[in-house]
Amino acid sequence: RRKVNLLNNDHMDWELYKIRHFVENAFARIKHFRAISSRYDKLARNYSSMVALSLIMMWLPKH
């Protein structure tokens, strides 16, 4: 059944799927940061700053 589904996906946008997969993996990796997964900060601006900081920390080792 899985093979049939893969063969019949002519209308699927594979570039969009690659981007979606990248975003899902980023969210999975960001949940490893304890302060983000449990949302310690009460203010939205503090929480968004922590998210930005964790994304920077994920991006830095690659470059």
How many angstroms separate the CA atoms of 28 and 51, rounded? 13
Structure confidence by residue, pLDDT tens digits, 1-59: 566 666 666 677 888 999 999 999 888 888 887 877 777 778 888 888 888 888 888 88
Structure confidence at residue 18 (pLDDT): 92
Q: What Rg value do the Cα atoms of the chain yield, rounded?
A: 17
